[in-house]
Structure 1
Amino acid sequence: MTDEQRLAAYDEFAQGVRAELAQVSERMDDLRAQDKVKTATYRQLFAARITLKDIDRRLTERGL
């Protein structure tokens, strides 16, 4: 794999993480609007959002 291919793969990964983060946040907003913040689904989404935010932060720190 060339350096250009690696960078393209990382860029694609970063886009996917950010898209998933947006989807998770949107689903959480929907559940919050329905007052379902105590559900297992909401808690799973909350954990996923924390993980995705951390990955996004690390990518951003490295300029990706």
Structure 2
Amino acid sequence: MTDQERLAAFEAFADDMRAELADINARMEELRAQNKVKTATYRQLFAARITLKDIDRRLSDHGL
């Protein structure tokens, strides 16, 4: 794999991860609007959001 292919793969990963983060935020907002913030689904989404935010921060720190 060339350096350009590796960079393209990392950029694709970053785009996919950010899209998933946006989807999770939207789903959490829907649950919040329904006052379902104590549900297992909301808590699972919350945990996933924290993980994805950390990955996003790390990618941003490296210019991706």
Q: Note the 1:1-64 alignment, pairs <5 A.
A: 1-64=1-64
Structure 1 unaligned spans of 5+: none
- Regions of 4+ moved over 4 Å: none
One-letter amino acid of the structure 1 residue matched with residue 27 of structure 2: R
Q: For each residue in 1:11-57, what CA deviation from the matched residue of structure 2 results, as whole angstroms up to 9, or x when unmatched?
A: 00000010000000000000000000000000000000000000000
**% identical equivalent positions:** 72
TM-score of the two chains, using structure 2 as the length reference: 0.99
- TM-score, structure 1 as length reference: 0.99
Q: Structure 2: give runs of 5+ residues left out of the alignment.
A: none
* Equivalences, count: 64
